[in-house]
Every structure is written in structure tokens, then in C-alpha cells.
Structure 1
């Protein structure tokens, strides 16, 4: 389902084909009940961007309704998709943080860039730095060959511990308009402080990179995600570059629930 122009989510155009799904055996095990619950990502993307959706004060961004009930819209099976790997170069924050935000995003997605520039830094400062929140990245390239190339380049940067620096460089304003051809990706890696650019190029084109990006992409598709960015916050699906207040409310509710339940689900 394509999002309206004013939507805070980006969907592939009709001329862009869906990424080739990885072969059988590489998929994640998501039960039927989880698939039903995960359809909320698609449903929410529609309801949040429909003509009657509530808007922010600027009038141009649909706002998600986060229920006052911290358990409403939360699915324990989706919460288990948080990897909580302390050595994960594509995550920031404590592995045992009470709240995990999983983001499925594309470097060619304008609304992903908006979230990265306008919202995520505030969440890091307010919640990651004090140990409340962990953010885990998933590559979800849905806009064709350059999206796929950027995703693999981001993975390659992560092999040298520079994923988040590459993320910042790739989402800087005006960067995606310049394209993500091989020379541009190398320039972004250099800007991000990737030390060994020869290794970066080799890793970027490796089968390991393709498999890693394929794993993330398959996870997103199995969740029913059809647009970027899409999020899970301790098992609560959210879609789109929502206002910071929406994320803060969901994070604080999740943190309160985790505290009540005796801590994070390690």
C-alpha cells in the first residue's frame, strides 16, 4: 500500500520491485500468531496516514495514538525479535536496557533521514545515555539497487566499528539526492572514519554482506512491514517518522512495564 505524499513513511514506487527474498533456511521463525499481530505495522501505516488521521501542530505529520494502557498493542513474540547482542555493531545502548527500539529503514528513504536527523539524537541523549533505551538497526532496502548497495556498505562500515558514523553521514541532508554509487559510498565511508577502505570495498561486495542484509529484509517482510521507517518498541509496532513525543510516550510506557515486571527481558 503506497503512502500519501504527506505520509511519514516511504514506500517503494510501482517501478521498484521487491527485493529478492533470501532462500529457505535463512528465515526467522515467526509463528502464525506473531504474523497476525505484526500486520499492525501495515494497518498502522494506513491509519496513521489516512486523511482523517490526527496531525501534529504543524499540520503535516500524522501522529500515532499510543494507548494509555501500556500493554495495549504490545506483542511479546515481537519483543523477542530484539537481538540484545552486546557485540552488535549495529546497535547502541546497553544490551540489558529495559527498552529496545528496533528500526527497519532504508538509506534512500526521506522519512528515515528525517527520523535520523530530527528525532533519534534526542532519544539517544534522553534515553540511551541513561541506560533506559537500546536502539537496534535493521537494513530494509526497498528502493532498488542503490538502496541495497547502501545497506551493504553500512554493514561493511560496521565490520570496522563505524556503522553509526556511516549512518550519520548517509542520512545527512542532501546526501541521498547525490546517489549511492560505489564512489559515493567509499566517500561516505571515508567521511565516517572507516580506516581500511580496501577492506570496506571487499566487505561491501561480499556474500556475507548480502546474507546479513537479506536476513534483516526478510525479518521486516515477515513482520508485514511495507514501508520505511518501521519500528518495534518492546513489541509495540510503530510506523513512520512520528513526532518525538510519540516515541517518548511509547518508550516511557515500555520502561514502566519492564520495571513493574522486574527488569528487561534478557
Structure 2
């Protein structure tokens, strides 16, 4: 398995791998994201299928393995272009992913649509995307392209195009990223290209990337479900169990987001 490239920015290099101040116990627990990756970053299709790998443990106790400080990372911003679902949904799944990651694509194609159909549409779940490019320049291009597409309300269409079967094999050079934006229905491609190389895109991607390193994530995909770390392209049942446990806990405590959003279409 190729070793992920470290960020080239000296500032990112020096700061992004230092855990953010969430409390020592929380940061150690969040390190599970890196420990339990099950080779999720494998960027080629010849890597072993993780569908038969052991699932990340999800206890029947909805409080076990949940870290409240990590749950606070949910933005719950109704205007977030890189999220789907109600801002006040009782459960928030935060996904840290790279468009060059083979198992991120597997999750995007095989698992995420089912979660959206089953849990997002009924208001139970919100999914918040975090760009976590770890495979170098092309990963960065795709991440900024995803953000730029989002500025024209086409993030999820870009996400689908970039994770389609065979898409990553074509690479994510700037011309290819522009083609993906066109495929995704981005109308103003000139604005898209300016946004792609703009300071705002770079800052947004860096913020997500540093958050991921700060909680101990070292591979993609990595997830938080109401503060419960889950790493790798786990079986669908792992996500369903975690979502349903989180929903039950939210119901019991009467907790949800403070800001209401619109139901997913």
C-alpha cells in the first residue's frame, strides 16, 4: 500500500499532526481512527476487499465509545454546501475523505446512498463532508474542486462524478477536475476555476485537513457519528448500528442540533 504523502505546506506540516485541545482522553480515544483503518487508504482497486474485515466495534450501550468533545465538531450549519440533511438532525455523521482513496469511493457508491435513503430522508441523519486530501497534489486539486463546486450548489453532483467507477484512474489534474465540474452541472466554469485556485478554497480544505489530523485520523475514510469514531470502509451494518444507537441516545436525552434545516430531497 503506498504511503500517504504528508502535506507540503510547512505550516500544515508543523501544526496539523498535533492533536487539537479537546482533552487528553478524548484525543487518545480518537486515535482509534488511525489504528483501525483496515487499509482504507488503499488507492488502487487491487487492494483486498474490506467488506469481510472485522467491523469497528459498536457497543449496544449508546454511550460506550462516544466522546462528547468530538460530537461538538458537527457544524450544523444550514448553509453548509458540503452537507446533506437537516441541520437539527439528531445524528450527524462527519466523513473525512480523499477523492483518490479507493475505499472512500466504495463507501460513496455502496453505503452512503443507502444511508441517505434510510436515515437522511426521514430526518434522522445529517452527513457533513470534510476534505482530507492525503495523496498529494491531485488530492488537493480534487478537494478544492469539490469545495468550488459546492459554491455553485453542485458539491454532491461533483462528489458522485469524482467517485464514479473508474474516475480516479483518470487522475485529478486541473483539466480533469474542470471536466468533472462540467459533468456535475456546474454552470459557471470560469468562476469554478477561479474558486479552485482561490485562497478561500485553500483555507477551507486546510481547515478540514487540520481538524482530521487533530483528532488522530491518519487514513481515509474516517468517520465520527455523534462523537463515535469509526474508521475504514466498514460493512453497512456497522454504520446502521452506530446511527441507530446515536438516534436512541439523542431521543433519550432530547438532544439535537440548535439550528433547524430543511429535510433532504
TM-score grouping bracket, smaller chain normalisation: 0.7 to 0.9
Q: In the aligned structure 1, how far is the partner of 2:31 from the partner of 2:8?
A: 19
1:89 counterpart residue number: 81
1:52 counterpart residue number: none
Pick one of 194, 202, 220 that aligns with 2:212: 220
Pick one of 114, 121, 124 that aligns with 2:106: 114
Give the 5 Å matches for 1:132-147.
132-147=124-139
Q: In the aligned structure 1, how far is the partner of 2:127 from the partner of 2:251?
A: 18
Deviations 1:125-171 (A, max 9, x none): 00000000000000000001000010000000001010000000000
2:90 counterpart residue number: 98
How far is the alpha carbon of 1:28 from its aligned partner?
9.5
Deviations 1:183-219 (A, max 9, x none): 1111100110101000000000001110000000000
Give the 5 Å matches for 1:245-256.
245-256=237-248
Q: Which runs of 5+ in 2 are unaligned?
A: 41-48, 259-265
Q: Does the CA contact (< 8 Å) of 1:166 and 1:189 recur in 2?
A: yes
Counterparts in 2 of 1:47 and 1:165: CA distance versus 1, 3 Å: closer
Pick one of 21, 28, 46 that aligns with 1:30: 21
Q: Which runs of 5+ in 1 are unaligned?
A: 6-12, 49-56
Tell me the secondary structure at the aligned position of residue 156 of structure 2.
helix
Q: Does the CA contact (< 8 Å) of 1:19 and 1:142 recur in 2?
A: no
Q: TM-score, normalised by structure 2?
A: 0.87
Counterparts in 2 of 1:190 and 1:222: CA distance versus 1, 3 Å: same
1:193 counterpart residue number: 185
1:172 counterpart residue number: 164
Tell me the secondary structure at the aligned position of residue 94 of structure 2.
strand
Q: Does the CA contact (< 8 Å) of 1:19 and 1:141 recur in 2?
A: no
Q: In the aligned structure 1, how far is the partner of 2:14 from the partner of 2:5?
A: 23
Greater CA deviation, 30-39 or 124-133?
A: 30-39
Q: Does the CA contact (< 8 Å) of 1:22 and 1:215 recur in 2?
A: no
How far is the alpha carbon of 1:15 from its aligned partner?
7.0
Q: In the aligned structure 1, how far is the partner of 2:191 from the partner of 2:173?
A: 17
